[in-house]
Structure 1
């Protein structure tokens, strides 16, 4: 099954999320979790990267999964691989 959302690190943009589902509900969740659309790109970038971006991204991944979405992410951002 293809993921609804893919989250990872982009070399120029930083932490980004791609909405593979093309769902307005997913877009709304991403925005509430601190991601904003990048004009002319098919990704959303995490805002305020000076505020503990790794922990915030792990939290976003957990929240998206709690909503029943399949999320593919880099190892660093997967809350199931990190215990804090």
Structure 2
């Protein structure tokens, strides 16, 4: 019976671990033995690259929206049927996606900045002067001079 429990527990172990590393940033390591080829192929598809001298893979350019990209990688790998254990912040099943709230606020702030810029007065566009609504005097309408026509209807 104990063999049966160990077998079921070992089959539930994750294939990959994804978390943070103090030196390499967002990293992935294999939990259950995956072939090196499969692990490399899978992780390169979600923008992880091998770290030389270790069995780790790190997220490429983690400074460019790294948390969102690592969370997306966890989700994409799970959609392929691979079991992944991720840090709390990187696990989309455990923590809500907070990136949706920030762009909305940033979008509103951007609209406020645009509105302020549109109403601001600059050296190129001075403040409008006081406008009087007096009606201008009617100007004489110019008359069009028509050329005399020949009897055939053509002009000379």
Q: Provide the aligned C-alpha RMSD in A.
A: 1.2
Where does the alignment leave 5 or more consecutive residues of structure 2 unmatched? 1-11, 101-156
- Deviation per CA, 1:15-65: give whole Å up to 9, x if none: 100023323233212101110001110100111112100000000000000
Where does the alignment leave 5 or more consecutive residues of structure 1 unmatched? none
Pairs within 5 Å for 1:4-83: 4-20=15-31, 21-23=33-35, 24-80=37-93, 81-83=95-97
- Say how many residue pairs are matched: 84
Which structure has more relative contact order (CA 8 Å, sep 6+)? It is: 1
With normalisation by structure 2, the TM-score equals 0.51
CA distance in 2, matches of 1:41, 1:18: 10
Larger Rg: 2
Q: What stretches of structure 1 move > 6 A for 4+ residues in a row?
A: none
Q: Which residue of 2 aligns with 1:2?
A: 13
